[in-house]
A and B are shown apart, each in its own frame.
Chain A
Amino acid sequence: MSTESIAWPVPDAEPRPLVDQLHGWVTTVDHKRLGILYIVYALVFLLIGGLEATIMRIQLMRPHNDFVSPEVFNRMFTMHGTTMIFFVAMPLVFGFANYLIPLMIGARDMAFPRLNAFSFWMTAFGGLLLYFSFVGGDGLYGAGNAPDVGWFAYAPLTSQTFSQGHSTDFWILSLLVSGFGSVGTAINIIATILCMRCPGMTLRTMPLLAWMNLTMAGLVILAVSPLTAAQVMLLIDRYLGAHFFDTQAGGSAVIWMHFFWIFGHPEVYVLVIPAFAFASEIIPVFSRKAIFGYPVMVAATLCIGFIGMSVWAHHMFTVGMSAGANTFFVLSTMAIAVPTGIKIFNWLATMWGGQIQFKTPMLFCVAFLFQFLIAGLTGIMLSVAPFNWQLSGSYFVVAHFHYVIVGAILFNLFGAFYYWFPKMSGRMYNEALGKLHCWLFIIGFHLTFDFMHIPGILGMPRRIYTYEPGRGWEVWNVIVTIGVFFQAVSILIFAGNLIWSYFRGEFAGSDPWDAWTLEWSTTSPPPTYNFATLPEVKSRRPLWDLKHPEDPDWLYE
């Protein structure tokens, strides 16, 4: 690659004034900067959401605790859930997608750079709107400030009668606004992948990360839009006195559940499929082998996307649906275990016989494999309707979905952080601190979420702010809370590692992992234009071909 042809201004000797730099970040349309904005924004909210979880766990550590009032506890679980899904997990997924997709498919930017900036700022203002409720949510009634209706906000809790003041309106509007941002980004991702790939990169040779993010973006379009529609209906109910979810006037509370979970369940796949994408890039590189079964991985991803759209009502078995509906959703939920299982076997087969290097990203991905398996198994348990009738609404469910969201999605996100940190910052992270973070987080995660299943089986309902002593729940709640502190400490180590390495880390060079995808062919951090000359691709591992001209992949694919 030659850079001579491009006249690039020599960096000034003294850095530009801070105001100039900030102005550059606010007005940027560069996919890399927007990706980093998404990620930093999400990390801030990760700390806030983590703080809310910690407050809840301190409250539940012993029976009859009065660390926070019941009203505050309700706000904490609502804000924790909403924050973590909409303002941590989604922005992290979008941030990595934004940063990586153009680099991995050999493009200079996303298809619609200005739409990209618009989407980010919509998401950002959505988050600010949600947290502004602490200040502005009181309204005229002296009612609660922050939203306290639970993250899925079942009717009729959200009606004017039961939710006075403006707290629920802040919740609706923030999700509406950030939803527009999500759909905008999803449109951008699809258009980028379909229209911007570099010469030679067909759909059969593009990286699995691109395939999985394509599926994710499709799911966002089909799943977030129904949520937007439902939020508009709720807003019409609350402000114009309509009766969509008003049972007094013949409306239905159950239809809100359907509308919410038509969004809510595909949302899980929106988050987990990009996590799969990270594993599919990291595991091959640290096993020194090409991914096993590329076409099957693509097929399994699409399969998860399709089936994922038709399992939503397994969140509603206790509502009392017809036997036919129950049967359908039991079977579709079980069916989705098949493509997911295929993926786990493919990752294992990729590692099989490879020269495995247990660097920090790989450690997180291996932990993900174990934890995701367990999360899937409790998922199959919960998919059985009679079993679900026993445990729905208990801490068993809370433990199950945190096993997916933390044990699978967050672990892979951490792996992605360590894997691409050298590319984004140009510097290596501290490996010892990274491993310490990983092991402390594994210990904390298992202390918290393994033992959380047990009070659930013993009948402890979710969302209660305290409980009676003598039900056998005390010791488990103590262990669960202790695990939270391990997690908190390890997250602080993670944040410290990123900040320290950003300023003091060793220079990484363009390709520290000896990897095979295009983002490693340009400098770290990449220049604004990404690639001086657009690369031409002939196989799934273009950098392997470049490094091993005597034995290129395209001879065999």
Chain B
Amino acid sequence: MSAPSVTIPEAEIRWNLPARGPVGMYCLIAAETAIFTIFVVAYIFYIGKSISGPQPRDILHVPVFFTICLLSSSITIHFAVKSLRSGAVRTFSLWWLLTIVLGATFLGGTAQEWRHLIYDEGLTIQTNLFGTTYYSLVGLHAFHVTVGLLALATVSLLAVLGYIKQEHAERADVLSMYWHFVDAVWVVVFIVVYVVGR
């Protein structure tokens, strides 16, 4: 280069780009948000449009305990990743396991609620628009919880086998982003189904 008067500043040579893991996960979360948005819009659009019973206010009960379980699992997974960052693998495993237990409890709560609705109240996905939209939206969320639990369980298994080390903290963090997203979606589903829709 024959332009000796122009020197490249130091800042240009140092080259920092975002890590691909979180960027990929943010994109996935954006796509999932779009999917949930369509289901939530359908739910809101069909509130009160069922032409036969049962109606939400007659049979839905607010699942306070299970909501607390799911939301607190966001806190436990945060501490899990934090411990792994500082190299405390055993603490990480315990927090991680607690997250799985809380998530599984929530899923059990959904199963119990569905069982009650189907067998005691006679509401199925075919009954009316409320049944259609309720089982689809809550089921879509429960499906995401299930996928998350499978991923969390895989990590747990690896931890038991001793494969998880401090350097995997960033990857665990990417998975925890997905879990936080699943929890955040529940807040929206909760408000739409159990507060606005009732």
Residues in chain A within 8 A of chain B (CB atoms): 111-112, 115, 183, 186-188, 190-192, 194-197, 199-200, 221-226, 228-230, 232-233, 236, 240-244, 249-252, 255, 259, 262, 538, 549-550, 552, 554-555
Are B24 and A229 in contact, CB atoms less than 8 angstroms apart? no
Are B50 and A195 in contact, CB atoms less than 8 angstroms apart? no
**In the docked arrangement, what's the CA distance between A230 and B41, Å?**
11
Are B45 and A250 in contact, CB atoms less than 8 angstroms apart? no
Are B27 and A230 in contact, CB atoms less than 8 angstroms apart? no
Contact of A187 among B6, B27, B49 (CB under 8 A): B27
Which chain A residue shows the least CB distance to B40?
A: A229
Are B3 and A194 in contact, CB atoms less than 8 angstroms apart? no
Give 22 pairs: A residue, B residue, CB < 8 Å, sorted on A: A186-B27, A187-B24, A191-B23, A197-B17, A200-B12, A223-B34, A225-B31, A225-B32, A229-B35, A229-B39, A233-B136, A236-B132, A241-B125, A242-B126, A242-B131, A251-B46, A259-B42, A538-B12, A549-B1, A549-B2, A552-B3, A554-B6
Are A111 and B136 in contact, CB atoms less than 8 angstroms apart? no
Q: 18 additional contacts, CB 8 Å, given A195-B18, A225-B32?
A: A112-B24, A190-B24, A221-B30, A221-B34, A222-B30, A228-B35, A233-B38, A240-B126, A242-B136, A243-B128, A244-B132, A250-B51, A259-B38, A259-B42, A262-B38, A538-B12, A550-B2, A554-B6
A552 CB contacts on chain B under 8 angstroms: 1, 3
Interface magnitude class on chain B: 35 or more
**Which of B23, B34, B46 has the most A CB atoms < 10 Å from its CB?**
B34
Contact of B51 among A115, A200, A249, A554 (CB under 8 A): A249
**Which of A111, A224, A244, A252 has the most B CB atoms < 10 Å from its CB?**
A244
**In the docked arrangement, what's the CA distance between A191 and B24, Å?**
6
**In the docked arrangement, what's the CA distance between A226 and B42, Å?**
11
Are B35 and A555 in contact, CB atoms less than 8 angstroms apart? no
Q: Kindly state whether residue B8 has any CB partner on chain A within 8 Å.
A: yes
A197 CB contacts on chain B under 8 angstroms: 17
Contact of A226 among B34, B126, B129 (CB under 8 A): B34
Q: How far is the CB of A159 from chain B (nearest CB, A)?
A: 13
Known contacts A190-B27, A244-B42; decide if A225 and B35 are in contact (CB<8 Å): yes
**In the docked arrangement, what's the CA distance between A112 and B37, Å?**
27
Are A538 and B128 in contact, CB atoms less than 8 angstroms apart? no
**In the docked arrangement, what's the CA distance between A240 and B125, Å?**
7
Q: Kindly state whether residue B20 has any CB partner on chain A within 8 Å.
A: yes
Q: Kindly state whether residue B163 has any CB partner on chain A within 8 Å.
A: no
Q: Is chain B's binding surface mostly helix, strand, loop or mixed?
A: helix
**In the docked arrangement, what's the CA distance between A104 and B135, Å?**
47
Which chain A residue shows the least CB distance to B36?
A: A229
A538 CB contacts on chain B under 8 angstroms: 8, 12
Are B34 and A222 in contact, CB atoms less than 8 angstroms apart? yes
B51 CB contacts on chain A under 8 angstroms: 249-250
B3 CB contacts on chain A under 8 angstroms: 552, 555
**In the docked arrangement, what's the CA distance between A516 and B61, Å?**
65
B6 CB contacts on chain A under 8 angstroms: 554-555
Q: Kindly state whether residue B151 has any CB partner on chain A within 8 Å.
A: no
Which chain A residue shows the least CB distance to B50?
A: A250
A259 CB contacts on chain B under 8 angstroms: 38, 42
**In the docked arrangement, what's the CA distance between A549 and B3, Å?**
8
**In the docked arrangement, what's the CA distance between A328 and B39, Å?**
24
**In the docked arrangement, what's the CA distance between A223 and B2, Å?**
49
B196 CB contacts on chain A under 8 angstroms: none
Are B129 and A243 in contact, CB atoms less than 8 angstroms apart? yes
A249 CB contacts on chain B under 8 angstroms: 51, 128-129
Query: When A and B form their complex, which 6 residue pairs have the shortest distance between CB atoms, in order from nearest?
Result: A225-B34, A229-B38, A242-B132, A187-B27, A241-B126, A195-B20
Q: How far is the CB of B192 from chain A (nearest CB, A)?
A: 15
B36 CB contacts on chain A under 8 angstroms: 229
Q: Kindly state whether residue B13 has any CB partner on chain A within 8 Å.
A: yes
**In the docked arrangement, what's the CA distance between A283 and B179, Å?**
46
